[in-house]
Amino acid sequence: MLGYRDRANSDEDLIDPHRRGAPFYFQRMDAPRPQRNRVHVDVWVPYDQAEARIAAALEAGGRLVNDADAPSNWVLADPEGNEACVGVAGPPGPAAHRP
């Protein structure tokens, strides 16, 4: 429907061949979840955008589930318990601090 293609060497990732849309990663779950949390979305953003994305999700009614892997990954949930992760793509900190 979206025109996405399999990412090379992966049967779990889909990418937009035009590089306009975000990629999708499908993660297998250990146990079936027939009610809540039937979909889990991972969003990968540049390091300097992570805080804004998390703040927007919390402002929209979400809640923080786990920040044990911060500042590289946070788990959030909507009011029904459906989880989503905000992950950092790339090294932390501004480009000026990188070698």
pLDDT digits (tens, 9 = 90+) for 47-66: 888 999 899 999 999 999 99
pLDDT digits (tens, 9 = 90+) for 4-33: 888 888 777 888 888 887 787 777 667 766
Q: What DSSP letter does each residue of 1-62 carry, written as one string?
A: ----EEPTT-SSEEE-TTS-S--EE----SS--SSS----EEEEEEGGGHHHHHHHHHHTT-
